[in-house]
Amino acid sequence: METIKLTIDNKPVEVPKGTSILHAAKGAGIHIPTLCFFKLGDMPIENRPGGCRVCVVEVQGRRNLAPACVTDVTEGMVVKTHTIRALNARKTVLELILSDHPTDCLVCAKSGNCELQTLAQDMGIRKLHYEGEQSHYREDTSPAIIRDMDKCVRCRRCEMMCNDVQTVGVLSGINRGFMSVVSPAFEMNLDHSVCTYCGQCVAVCPTGALTEVDHTNAVIRALADPSKTVVVQTAPAVRAALGEEFGLKPGTLVTGKMVAALRQLGFDYVFDTDFAADLTIMEEGTELLNRLTQFLAGDKTKLPILTSCCPAWVKFFEHQFPEMMDIPSTAKSPQQMFGPIAKEYFAKKIGVERKDMVVVSIMPCLAKKYECSRDEFSHNGSPDVDYSISTRELANLIKQANLEFDALADEDFDKPLGESTGASVIFGTTGGVIEAAVRTAYELHTGNKLPKVDFEELRGLAGIRSATIDFGGLPINIGIAHGLGNARKLLEDIREGKSTFHAIEIMACPGGCIGGGGQPLHHGDFSILKARQEALYREDAGKPIRKSHENPFIIELYKEFLGKPLGEKSHHLLHTSYFDRSKKLIYINPSHPEE
């Protein structure tokens, strides 16, 4: 590997050929400020359009300043990153960007967490010397994501995530010059497009241009209403990341503190989505075995089976692979299984009417906001799950209530819908859902106890993984994909008849739910995802019960209420169907909506 020797700020540096000045500097401990540049750790996800020019540096012998993110190093190069000339240029660039940016930091959702705001502070901007026309776009609100393009800096990160990583293709740069912006086709609203609400665009946006729909006020109103019994369910991925919003190290498990905080906020019952995840395994595991039996008997259309707990993934295949709607499992997601169990089973148990129960979910996800608003998850205007709020929104609620999060003593979930197994905790990471399913399906199919509970071969962070699990002599091929781009590859294999998998787990977000659109922002630091993942496997290993079918409260639920997995009641409450959303889209001219 050919290396290049150069000097950056008088430090000698040696890097492989083809390295950019930005990366070479980083290796030498020199941090050049950037705005549009974005790289997600070791993953091949990089956005470097070289557009914003914030990262300009002086290169000896070069007449103009060089943008560090897109300029490769050359032998003997002498780079100076913070000369007065470079600093002046950086400030000018920032002032020009800010001259077309709203100044409502005080009420902006990204205040305190905005890369543009941080840059302006770090560069000491005190006066904007440039004044001119400001862009004004209409605000686009969808069930999960808000687009406020007045705040867009045209970094193109959202476009990169949506097109190159997720391969959904909603966004593109349009128009030119002052009119240029990033938008869906025909400037249609997000909720008319093929957007899956995976929220990866929100997770990478450096400003407040892309944010989530905020339901914290609705939750506060519900909590304040004495006539309502407010029940909360928490997703597994939340407990591995919530602490980061309070300065705790990534990967710190804060389950006990999270429960304590929720109780202090006033939720009447603090339950765990993990309970519903165990339920999902019961239903989906049984479905897997049924379809496997039919497949082995000769009906080759019955497999592969795909997991269906990820709503962004569901919307993805409804739009882009509608002819394959029979392939995913019919089981609802844990969030949506929890809803009916809470409002039908639990409400009756405690003598509360359905209309007086409010179910709130805490999710690492923005698509869950869309999921709970889907028509089929509502009965006579009463949704099974009323509000879904993200990890970030919960952290904000806790801060609003001036709770000292780190000082809270650990508390336990309420029973019966708060008891869960280790299998359900790992739902939050890529590979976790299918491992949980395998733990149960193996024992149900073979009738034998598992020789070992951990399936290391299903774990990891590679985008597409595969393993063959021996089900007592029957080899089952498992496929795993995270990130919709990887999901697309597996789906296309199925479409072309090339897939040899029997069961496939798909998560829309890179890393799985731990990297969800609603999690604390990782700003491209991959080690944070790794730490969160390890935290979940740690919690799993520490649990006394690690297989979903051994959860005594699940066993009780079936005995007392549901009957059996895939039985009539289970089918009615816990299963769903999908819709073909591939038809040509309707676009309404926003200035003449009546046409």
Partner 1 sequence: MSSIKVELKQCEIDKIKEICQSFNNEPGELINVLHKAQGHFGYLPAEVQEEIALELKISVAKVYGVVTFYSFFTMLPKGLHPISICTGTACYVRGAEKVLDEFKRILNIQVGDTTKDGRFSLSCLRCVGACGLAPVVMIGEKVYGRVSPDGVKDILNEYS
Residue of 159, 212, 245, 284 marked catalytic: 284
| Near partner 1 in 222-251, by CB under 8 A | none
Query: How many residues does the structure list for the chain?
Result: 595
Nearer CB in complex with partner 1: 220/585 = 585
Longest dimension (CA), the chain: 80
Which is it for the CA torsion 194, 196, 200, 201, positive or negative?
positive
Of 351 and 593, the one with the shorter C-beta distance to partner 1 is 593
Specify the residue, 10 or 591, whose C-beta has the smaller distance to partner 1. 591
Q: Between 183 and 361, whose beta carbon lies closer to partner 1?
A: 183
Quick check: is 376 catalytic?
yes
Q: Which is nearer to partner 1, 259 or 487 (CB)?
A: 487
Q: How many CA atoms lie within 13 A of 355 on its CB side?
A: 2
Q: In angstroms, what is the minimal distance from the CB of 591 to partner 1?
A: 8
Our answer to whether residue 371 is catalytic in this structure is yes
- Based on the residue annotation, tell me whether 95 is a catalytic residue of this protein: no
CA 6/CA 74 separation, integer angstroms: 7
The helix or strand, by DSSP H or E, that contains position 568, with its residue range, turns out to be: helix 568-574
SS3 167: coil
589 near partner 1 (CB under 8 A): yes
What is the rounded CA–CA span in Å between residue 184 and residue 186? Answer: 6
Radius of gyration from C-alpha coordinates of the chain: 25
Please say if 365 is a catalytic residue.
Answer: no
Alpha-carbon distance of 284 to 570, in angstroms, equals: 11
Catalytic residue among 55, 309, 310, 365: 309
For residues 91 and 123, give the distance between their C-alpha atoms in angstroms, rounded to a whole number.
Answer: 6
Q: Tell me whether residue 198 or residue 437 sits nearer to partner 1 (CB atom).
A: 198
* Catalytic member of 14, 376, 456, 560: 376
Nearest CB to partner 1, comparing residues 265 and 487: 487
- Minimal distance in Å, beta carbon 234 to partner 1? 35
Tell me, yes or no, if 110 is annotated catalytic: no
Beta strands in 226-367 (DSSP E): 229-234, 269-272, 305-306, 357-363
Interface stretch with partner 1, choices 81-89, 244-252, 367-375, 584-592 (CB under 8 A): 584-592
Residues 164-203 that bind partner 1 (CB under 8 A): 168-176, 183-187
Question: What distances in angstroms separate CA 387 from CA 4, 198, 371, 393, one per listed residue?
Answer: 55, 17, 10, 12
Q: For residues 565 and 366, what is the distance between their CA atoms, to the nearest angstrom?
A: 29
In the complex, least distance from residue 368 CB atom to partner 1, rounded to whole angstroms: 25
- Range 416-441 burial, b when 16+ CB lie within 10 A, else e: bbbbbbbbbbbbbbbbbbbbbbbbbb
Q: With H, G, I as helix, E, B as strand and everything else as coil, classify residue 512.
A: coil
Point out which residues pair with 480 in neighbouring strands. 465, 505
Note whether 220 binds partner 1 by CB under 8 A. no
Contact 332, 571 (CB under 8 A): no
Closest to partner 1 by CB, 561 vs 587, is 587
Sole binder of partner 1 in the list 127, 452, 498, 592 (CB under 8 A): 592
Closest contact distance (angstroms) between CB of 175 and partner 1 is 5
Q: Which of 371, 419, 435, 505 is catalytic?
A: 371
Least Cβ distance, residue 292 to partner 1 (angstroms): 34
How far apart CA 298 and CA 376 sit, in angstroms, is 33
In the set 315, 368, 369, 547, the catalytic residue is: 368
Residues 112-171 that bind partner 1 (CB under 8 A): 163, 168-171
* Residue 180 C-beta: closest distance to partner 1, Å: 8
Cα–Cα distance measured from residue 259 to residue 54, given in angstroms and rounded to the nearest whole number: 43
Mark whether 513 is an active-site residue: yes
446 phi and psi angles, rounded to 5 deg: -85, -25
Stretches 86-94, 427-435, 482-490, 585-593: which one binds partner 1 (CB under 8 A)? 585-593
Query: Out of 318, 513, 548, 570, which one is annotated catalytic?
Result: 513
Stretch that binds partner 1, among 412-420, 447-455, 475-483, 579-587 (CB under 8 A): 579-587
Residues of this chain, 507-536, that bind partner 1 according to CB under 8 A: none
Least gap, CB of 590 to partner 1 (angstroms): 8
Please choose, out of 343-351, 364-372, 554-562, 580-588, the segment that lies near partner 1 by the rule CB under 8 A: 580-588
Residue with smaller CB distance to partner 1, 176 or 452? 176
For partner 1, the closer CB: 496 or 595 = 595
Active site residue 46: no
Nearest approach in angstroms of CB 483 to partner 1 is 17
Residues 359, 338 contacting (CB under 8 angstroms): yes
Ranges within 339-368 binding partner 1 (CB under 8 A): none
Distances (CA, A) of 362 to 238, 262, 274, 385, 425: 7, 10, 12, 11, 14
Least distance (Å) between residue 161 CB and partner 1 = 13
Number of chain positions touching partner 1 (CB under 8 A) = 23
Residues 6+ apart with CB under 8 A from 219: 230, 360, 387, 389, 397
Q: Is 329 a catalytic residue?
A: yes
Q: Is 4 in a helix, a strand, or coil? A: strand
Residue 584 lies near partner 1 (rule: CB under 8 A): yes
Q: Which two tokens stand for residue 587?
A: 């676009």
Question: Which residue in the block uniquely carries the two structure tokens 């941080």?
Answer: 118
Nearest to 169 by CA among 161, 157, 180, 181: 161
Amino acid at 97: I
Report, in Å, the least distance between residue 347 CB and partner 1: 44
Hey, which residues are catalytic here? 284, 287, 309, 329, 368, 371, 376, 513
Q: Which residues bind partner 1 (CB under 8 A)?
A: 163, 168-176, 183-187, 584-585, 587, 589-592, 595
